[in-house]
Amino acid sequence: MSKKKRVSRKATTPHWKAPGETNSIGGDGGDADFITAPGPGAESEPEAVIVSCPVVREENLLRAIRVGLDLRAPDERLKQVLVDQMLDLGILRYKAKQYRDAIDVFNQVLALDSESAEGYSSRGAAKVGLGDSVSALIDCNKALELDPNLASGYNNRGFALLTQGNVYAALDDLNKALELDPEHVSAYNNRGYVAYLLGELESSVQDYDRAVRLNPNFAQAYNNRGMAKMKLGDFEGAFVDYDKSLFLDPTAKETYYNRGCTKQRVGDHESAIPDFDAAIALDPTWPHVYFNRGVAKHNTGDYAGALADYAQAANVGQENKVCQKHGGHRRGGYRRWFSRRMTPAYGVGEGGIH
């Protein structure tokens, strides 16, 4: 089958925390445990996100795909159109974090065209979404074997390596993706996250600047740039970026959480609580949010509410030692624990995707 170069695609990413990351705190308070979202694994044309309502677009794609599949012997041109439509559908499923559904679609793509480099690359990104980075690397390697100049293949393999903590190998792949495609939005976003992890904050901000310049509707990049600005001490700039991220994506739980933690960092504990409330409404199983909301309540004098949040953090975060320590602190001795108002000096962890 003749190969047709497709435009770049982007999708949302899995949540991940880099191995070995810690969060340092001073005082008796809590852990301002920040996170960043590296951004899309599978690529997307920047404008594709706002072309039409995703539901309407998906219905149109499904209708077109059904018509294509009903053809008994489509010629090569129609077959390529069908493959492209199915790739688009898979990307939409991936953006909705329906990773298994996305993989099912990409499987159908590969059944139609066993040499679709983009099919393997995109399926690899979806597998990262399910936490299967080993299988994702196999798919990305296959994609690059079929097309050594596929920028999305390097981007997605770099992201898979990043989830395994192989930061420098990920950086090599992301640099290669940008060498092949200097306007690769996802690669800038992901490389910005690598720079963030390596402590190269100015370089991190520069890559996020490029990402949002190429795609002004890239909510995750604004969240990530806000994190880098926060670590640089530019709190005003960080809040502007968080607000922009939430304007573009009101369901971004990480951004609510990061904005709440940044408010705690500047001592605005009261207004941090609604941000933690919003993050909990989106993900009731996230122990760090309960823990940090407990710290915010503690610092506003709501000791009973703080106690309840610490206990809930321990309940939903059985594997989190910090949550266990504070959630179960002195069972029967909470009154002494909360007998004085404490103002912790928050340290900021290295971020990560939970």
Amino acid identity, residue 284? P
Residue 155 structure tokens: 């981007």
Looking at per-residue pLDDT, the higher value among 79 and 116 belongs to 116
Q: What is the DSSP letter of 51?
A: S
The 10s digit of each residue's pLDDT in 301-318 is 999 999 999 999 988 876
Same CATH topology for 9-266 and 267-347: the answer is yes
Can you tell me which residue has the tokens 């502007």?
240
SS3 330: coil
Residue given tokens 């790739």 in the structure block: 87
List strand residue ranges (DSSP E) for the chain, in order.
Answer: 9-10, 25-26, 43-44, 345-346
Whole-number pLDDT of residue 96: 83
Check if the beta carbon of residue 326 is closer than 8 Å to that of residue 313. Answer: yes
pLDDT tens column, 257-292: 999 999 999 999 999 999 999 999 999 999 999 999
**C-alpha to C-alpha distance for 47 and 120, rounded to whole angstroms:** 23
Closest CA to 325 of 277, 317, 305: 317
Query: What's the number of CA atoms in the CB half-sphere (13 Å) around residue 305?
Result: 14
Per-residue pLDDT at 177 exceeds 50 = yes
Interacting residues of 12 by C-beta distance below 8 A, sequence separation 6+: 39, 40, 94, 95, 97, 220
Q: Which fold has domain 267-347?
A: 1.25.40
| The two structure tokens encoding residue 245 | 């991220």
In the chain, where are the structural domains located?
9-266, 267-347
The answer to whether 342 and 298 have CB atoms below 8 angstroms apart is: yes
**pLDDT score of 334 more than 90:** no
Looking at the predicted structure, is the pLDDT value of residue 125 above 90? yes
CATH architecture of 9-266: Alpha Horseshoe (1.25)
To the nearest 10°, report the CA torsion of 187, 189, 191, 196: -170
Neighbours of 236 (CB within 10 A): 10
The CA–CA distances, whole Å, from 88 to 159, 164, 204, 293, 329 equal 20, 27, 30, 39, 50
Q: What is the pLDDT of residues 134-159, one digit of tens each?
A: 999 999 999 999 999 999 999 999 99
Mean residue pLDDT of the chain comes to 77
Residue scoring higher pLDDT (256 or 321): 256
Q: Is 75 exposed, middle or buried (0-12, 13-18, 19+ CB in 10 A)?
A: exposed
